[in-house]
């Protein structure tokens, strides 16, 4: 359940971030006057391409501008820092309580050695930007490493030991690391014997970096959970974190959700009765009967969960799973009976095409900011249906069992896409969704997904963690890239947000596995804070409908 809890929170939080630029995207400058606000520089730790720690120098000039962020790198800097720089600039403005679109940010990154990696300097870039905006002096005896997340939390990075050593050799006294990463793992070469044969093998060794760094280099290592905590070490000031208040599902949204849940439950019940009746009549071998019976039993279990549920989204989710199981079992029965499923395949293809076309057409019908979240949720489900159907067709001759499952899932998923569209009728206004802005936002998130997904994969391998969700994140990113090339920007945005959510989930999961229950509680709280704090940015214009629904569901399912 932890995956569903955290992925749901992260996915909808990033979706909400995607709504912010729709009304706040910078416009073109009206004059060519250049006004310098300030300049500063900072040294950040990195990992050399040949192994070992290294240092990079990051300088920043802030000008009066319109919200542009530029990054110039030296020839040896083989890292893409654009996404980190953008995030750092926006978060620094938020902390300094200034308007991001009033400034331009010119970052310059230089190093004396070839550097590899990704956005691990994001937190220090935020510190650098804030120092200029607030006119505060940076404590040069402090250094840190860590990604900067949209809510200000510090994400995990790789090469912690190497970076700590580089910091110590540079005379740094305090080294800040992300939550849970004061414990690191190192592969140690060992020698042994199997009978008369000598062997060499490697063991994963756990190291307490706090103790190790202090003893070896005299370096103090401390974990920080967010940028606000880091600021207190760099500037010796306490900066108040933004507060948040929890939200409830609006009554008119709740009423519609409950009606939809009841409809879904009725459909699931009818399908269960239908497949149960078919199952009683079928004559198949005992093994096949047992397999189909297991699927039907799962359908009944989920149907009973739906009937017992009071929460509308929990009821809908359980009913959806029941419907998928029953439909799958029904198709399996038809297949073993020798029935021709070609007509049903064509029918599902038409259902999905109609669903995708209808969802795409609703972009023109968005007339209120509250419509954006449900629309993106509908788009995601429509494309899920399309991809599952395509996968089912490819598997048809190789694995009919899985193919029929994917066929049933695609049909049910297309149905739920249309249900999400109904939420767009709850609110009305004069809002419009600009295609040009949508393209820019989709491009920004596609770029961010490319960097974060690739980086998280590399870091997790370095940490010794291998998760299936990393592969899923790459799949979502590739779909986002394909959709963007076809000018399907809303679909691209939906897939990019899922890729980012999955990548961040995997990084958080690694943090939890390293740091234990204390870190788990903090990470979970940040998932919740992210969804609510981001909504605060646009609270004057929107109610985060999917965010509230997902969080309510996540808390009820644990």
What pTM, to 2 d.p., does this model score?
Answer: 0.70
- The answer to which of 284-293, 422-431, 512-521 has the lowest mean pLDDT is 512-521
CA distance 186 to 338: 57
The answer, yes or no, to whether residue 30 has pLDDT greater than 50, is no
Record the tokens describing residue 72, joined without a space: 């110039």
Q: Residue 29 has what pLDDT?
A: 43
> Angle at Cα 319 formed by Cα 313 and Cα 322, nearest 5°?
145
Rank 52-66, 320-334, 451-465 by mean pLDDT and report only the highest. Answer: 320-334
Given pLDDT bands bounded at 50, 70 and 90, which one contains residue 537? very low
What is the arithmetic mean of pLDDT over 308-330? 93
- The answer to which of 102-111, 164-173, 440-449 has the lowest mean pLDDT is 440-449
Q: Which residue has the tokens 């070490």?
A: 233
Segments in 244-308 forming alpha helices (H): 251-281, 286-308
Given pLDDT bands bounded at 50, 70 and 90, which one contains residue 19? very low
Q: Residue 520 has what pLDDT?
A: 56
Q: Give the residue range(s) of CATH 3.30.230.10 domains in the chain.
A: 36-235
Instruction: Kindly provide the b/e burial profile for residues 337-375, where b requires at least 16 CB atoms within 10 angstroms of the residue's own CB.
Output: eeeebeeebeebbebbeebbeebeebeeebebbbbbbbb
**pLDDT tens, position by position, 123-157:** 999 999 999 999 999 999 999 999 887 778 888 88
Residue 189's DSSP bridge partners are 202
DSSP string, 439-473: HHHHHHHHHHHHHHHHHHHHHHHHHT---HHHHHH
Residue 378 contacts residue 358 (beta carbons within 8 Å): no
CA distance 103 to 98: 9
CB atoms within 10 A of CB 414: 26
Strands across the sheet containing 69-73 = 69-73, 103-110, 53-64, 36-48, 115-116
Classify residue 452 as exposed, middle or buried by CB count within 10 Å of its CB (0-12, 13-18, 19+): buried
Record the tokens describing residue 465, joined without a space: 């963690």
Q: CATH topology for 36-235?
A: Ribosomal Protein S5; domain 2 (3.30.230)
Q: Residue 28 has what pLDDT?
A: 41
Contacts of 59 (CB under 8 A, 6+ apart): 39, 40, 41, 107, 108, 110
Q: Residue 21 has what pLDDT?
A: 46
Q: Residue 65 has what pLDDT?
A: 92
- The answer to which of 31-40, 242-251, 408-417, 419-428 has the lowest mean pLDDT is 242-251
The answer, yes or no, to whether residue 338 has pLDDT greater than 70, is yes
CB atoms within 10 A of CB 419: 21
**pLDDT tens, position by position, 469-507:** 889 999 999 999 999 999 988 889 888 888 887 887 787
Over pLDDT 70: what percentage of the chain? 82
Q: Which residue has the higher pLDDT, 540 or 9?
A: 9
The answer, yes or no, to whether residue 365 has pLDDT greater than 50, is yes
């Amino acid at each position: 359940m932890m995956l569903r809890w955290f992925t749901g929170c992260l996915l909808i939080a990033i979706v909400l971030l995607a709504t912010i630029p729709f009304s706040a995207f910078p416009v073109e400058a009206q004059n060519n006057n250049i006004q310098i606000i300030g300049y500063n520089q900072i040294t950040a730790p990195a990992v050399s391409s040949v192994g070992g720690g290294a240092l990079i120098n990051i300088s920043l000039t802030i000008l009066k501008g319109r919200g542009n962020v530029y990054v110039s790198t030296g020839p040896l800097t083989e890292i893409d820092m654009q996404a980190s720089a953008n995030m750092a600039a926006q978060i620094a403005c938020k902390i300094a309580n200034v308007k991001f679109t009033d400034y331009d940010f010119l970052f310059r990154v230089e190093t004396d050695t070839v550097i590899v990696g990704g956005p691990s300097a994001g937190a220090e870039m935020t510190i650098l930007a804030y120092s200029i905006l607030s006119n505060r002096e940076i404590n040069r005896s402090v250094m840190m490493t860590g990604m900067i997340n949209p809510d200000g939390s510090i994400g995990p990075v790789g090469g912690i030991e190497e970076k700590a050593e580089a910091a110590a050799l540079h005379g740094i006294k305090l080294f800040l690391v992300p939550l849970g990463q004061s414990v690191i793992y190192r592969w140690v070469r060992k020698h042994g014997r199997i009978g008369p044969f000598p062997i060499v093998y490697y063991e994963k060794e756990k190291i307490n970096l706090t103790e190790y760094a202090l003893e070896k280099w005299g370096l103090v290592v401390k974990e920080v959970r967010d940028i606000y905590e880091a600021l207190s070490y760099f500037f010796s000031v306490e900066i108040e974190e933004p507060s948040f208040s929890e939200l409830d599902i609006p009554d008119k949204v709740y009423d519609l959700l409950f009606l939809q849940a009841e409809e879904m439950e009725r459909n699931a019940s009818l399908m269960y009765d239908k497949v149960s009746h078919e199952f009683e009549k079928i004559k198949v071998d005992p093994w096949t009967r047992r397999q189909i019976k297991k699927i039907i039993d799962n359908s009944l279990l989920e149907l009973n969960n739906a009937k017992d549920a009071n929460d509308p989204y929990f009821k809908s989710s359980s009913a959806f799973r029941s419907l998928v199981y029953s439909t799958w079992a029904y198709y399996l029965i038809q297949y073993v009976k020798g029935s021709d499923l070609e007509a049903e395949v064509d029918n599902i293809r038409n259902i999905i095409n109609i669903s995708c076309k209808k969802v795409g057409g609703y972009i023109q019908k968005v007339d209120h900011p509250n419509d954006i979240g449900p629309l993106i949720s509908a788009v995601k489900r429509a494309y899920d249906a399309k991809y599952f159907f395509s996968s089912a067709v490819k598997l048809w001759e190789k694995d009919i069992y899985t193919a029929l499952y994917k066929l049933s899932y695609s049909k049910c998923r297309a149905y739920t896409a249309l249900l999400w569209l109904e939420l767009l009728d709850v609110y009305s206004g004069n809002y419009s969704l600009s295609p040009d802005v949508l393209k820019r936002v989709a491009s920004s998130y596609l770029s961010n997904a490319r960097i974060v997904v690739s980086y998280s994969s590399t870091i997790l391998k370095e940490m010794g963690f291998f998760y299936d969700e990393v592969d899923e994140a790459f799949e979502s990113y590739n779909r986002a890239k394909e959709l963007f090339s076809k000018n399907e920007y809303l679909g691209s945005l939906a897939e990019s947000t899922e890729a980012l959510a999955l990548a961040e989930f995997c990084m958080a999961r690694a943090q939890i596995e390293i740091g234990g229950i204390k870190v788990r509680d903090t990470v979970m709280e940040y998932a919740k804070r992210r969804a609510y704090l981001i909504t605060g940015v646009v609270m004057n214009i929107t109610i985060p409908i999917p965010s509230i629904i997902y969080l309510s569901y996540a808390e009820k399912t644990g």
